[in-house]
A and B are shown apart, each in its own frame.
Chain A
Amino acid sequence: MTDTAVKANDISVLEISGITKTFDDKVVLDGVSLTVARGQTVCLLGPSGSGKSTLLRCVNWLERPDQGTVLLCGERIGMRKGGVVPMGNAELARLRMRMGTVFQHFNLWPHLTVLQNIIEAPVHVQKRRRDEVIAEAEALLENVGLADKRDAFPSRLSGGQKQRVGIARALAMKPELLLFDEPTSALDPELVGEVIAVMKSLSQAGSTMLVVTHEMGFARETADKVVLMDGGRIVEQGDPEQFFGNPRTERARQFLQRYVSA
């Protein structure tokens, strides 16, 4: 089901419009609209508490926005029939399995080995053939440099290794959209690089990515679009060169002063 009759290539992978979210009287998202085109890497910046995580959680409907719509490849998430009937869990799951999420605290399943973590959802949610999925998972592990950790349990990995498994787990879903919520901010500084390197190569390979990050270097070099949030609103968005070189708003200038010089 598509809302508008356009060619598949022209449809944004993600189209967020007018999202509002309130937690007991506190307005956390205040009319946020944002699009991510196919193959784009969009970096979401903003001070702590500005609503970045909440926005990401609204995208895969872990959080239900009060207002606004989220479209994944033109398909409405969370609501059916013109937005009046909430989707059931099964229907939500069908949309969620088309996105891959990478979490700040990795959130690997501790009872499963590295390989099992990666194949769990493809096999049991997407119902793909186990042997095929295993072959793909092994290739993914090779790509993130963890082939030798195939049968290790997450508790035995370093933070950087855990996050690379987290990325491989998301990629194994063959997602149309990758969501990253501060994937490096729980890591020791010397481990950040290995994860950033994997993300860069994904971006270059043409993955569609929405990345919440405080890594300004990554945003500057890799992003096709940079979005700054503050107080639940988008205060500025543009291409990285313009955003970092010559921000239009005062708020962006302040933000960059604090984060880029630090």
Chain B
Amino acid sequence: MMRDFSLIWQSADRLLDGLINTVLLSLVGAALALALGALLAIPLMASNPVLRLVSRGFVDLMRCVPFLMLTYLVYYGLPRLGLRFDNWTAGLVAIVVYNTAYMAEIIRGIWSRLERETIEAAVAFGFHGWRLVSRIILPQVMLAAGPMIGNQLIQIIKDTAFLTIIAVPELTHAANSIQAQYFIPFATFITAVLMYWALCMVVEVGVYAVERIAERRR
């Protein structure tokens, strides 16, 4: 067993590359999904029923479809419609499209429970439209959303492992290629699992820190 782990140590750079890709895909994907989700939350909260219906339809569709299914649709399906991505980009696009729906739903949920009074005060002071949303509503939503966004980020980190199926060189893919080369599946996958664990711990510590900051502002 020690020999196995020393083999892994020799391929540490490959695992590290995989880890970096996993982190990059997760962070970039989550950041884009959060920004787009915030925008999508606006029609979800709109008074116009058509806007609401269309945005709700997209969100509910994404919540019914497994992430891998959407990844396939982006990677194999979209080229039929003339949209071709390399596998890394396809993975990122799938992460963003999928999680935009989840982030939007998180934001909508918090938004709808926000105190009406502070929003009404803003309207009385002349805020309206985008400035009302961006300066008064979304900051309050984001302060309450830390733990839920953290959970979603953990979900995203785990979902990136699906991208090994379309050969994105992320952590699980790196682990799989190392184990196939040296026939040391146990040591490699355990190492990978511990790396995922560490990543999720980092997210949880981050959420805790954000909560400390947010606490004063509630």
A–B direct touch, CB within 8 Å, in complex? yes
A146-166 near B? 1/0 per residue, CB < 8 Å: 000000010110000000000
- Contact call A89/B118, Cβ cutoff below 8 A: no
Verify B125–A103 contact, CB threshold 8 A: no
A202: Cβ under 8 A from any B Cβ: no
Question: Are B125 and A97 in touch, CB under 8 angstroms?
Answer: yes
What separation, in Å, do the CA atoms of A107 and B122 have in the docked complex? 9
Which residue in chain B gives the minimum CB-CB distance to A113? B217
**A155 with B217: in contact, given A107-B118, A110-B118 (CB under 8 Å)?**
yes
Main secondary structure of the interface of B (DSSP, over half): helix
- Closest Cβ–Cβ distance, residue B49 to chain A (whole Å): 19
A124 touches B127 (CB 8 A): yes
* Contacting pair B118 A109 (CB below 8 A): yes
Instruction: Give residues 96-112 of A contacting B (CB, 8 Å).
Output: 96-97, 99-101, 103, 105, 107-112
Candidates B121, B128, B139; contact of A92 at CB < 8 Å = B128
| A35-72 at interface with B (beta carbon < 8 Å) | 60, 62
If A97-B126, A111-B143, A173-B125 touch, whether A103 touches B131 (CB-CB below 8 Å) is: no
Q: Is the CB of A107 within 8 A of B121?
A: yes
Q: Which of B121, B123, B216 contacts A109 (CB 8 A)?
A: B121
B13 on the A face (CB < 8 A): no
Residues of chain A within 8 A of B127, CB atoms compared: 93, 121, 124-125
Q: Does B82 contact A (CB under 8 A)?
A: no
Chain A, residue nearest B136 (CB): A109
Distance between B98 CB and nearest chain A CB, rounded to angstroms: 29
Is the Cβ of A96 less than 8 Å from the Cβ of B126?
A: yes
| Residue B99 interfacial (CB < 8 Å) | no
A111-B140, A124-B135 known; A93 vs B126 contact (CB < 8 Å): yes
Q: Which residues of A contact B217 (CB under 8 A)?
A: 110-112, 153, 155
B residues in contact with A124, CB < 8 Å: 127, 131, 135
In the complex, what distance in Å separates the CA atom of A27 from the CA atom of B193?
Answer: 66
State which residues 107-124 of B face A: CB under 8 Å: 117-118, 120-124
Counting CB contacts under 8 A, is A120 at the interface?
A: yes
For the complex, is B218 an interface residue (Cβ under 8 Å from A)?
A: yes
Question: Considering the chains assembled together, what is the distance between the CA atoms of A110 and B140 in angstroms?
Answer: 8
Q: Which residue on chain A has the smallest CB distance to residue B125?
A: A121
Contact of A90 with B by CB under 8 A: yes
Q: Is A143 on the interface with B (CB-CB < 8 A)?
A: no
A2 interface hit (Cβ, 8 Å)? no
- Chain B nearest CB from A167 CB (Å) reads 13
- B138 (CB) vs chain A CBs: closest residue: A111
The 0/1 profile, CB within 8 Å of A marked 1, for residues 126-165 of chain B is: 1111010001100110010000000000000000000000
Interface residues in A117-141 (C-beta closer than 8 Å to B): 120-121, 124-126
**Bound CA span A170–B65, Å:** 49
27 sampled A-B residue pairs with Cβ under 8 A: A60-B124, A62-B120, A62-B123, A92-B128, A93-B126, A93-B127, A96-B124, A96-B126, A97-B125, A101-B121, A103-B117, A105-B117, A107-B117, A107-B118, A107-B120, A107-B121, A110-B217, A111-B143, A112-B139, A120-B125, A121-B122, A124-B127, A125-B127, A126-B126, A155-B217, A169-B125, A173-B126
Residues of chain B touching chain A, judged by Cβ–Cβ distance below 8 Å, are: 117-118, 120-129, 131, 135-136, 139-140, 143, 216-218
Given contacts A101-B125, A121-B122, 17 further A-B contacts (CB under 8 A): A93-B128, A99-B124, A101-B124, A105-B117, A107-B117, A107-B121, A109-B140, A110-B118, A110-B218, A111-B139, A111-B140, A111-B143, A111-B217, A120-B135, A124-B127, A125-B127, A126-B126
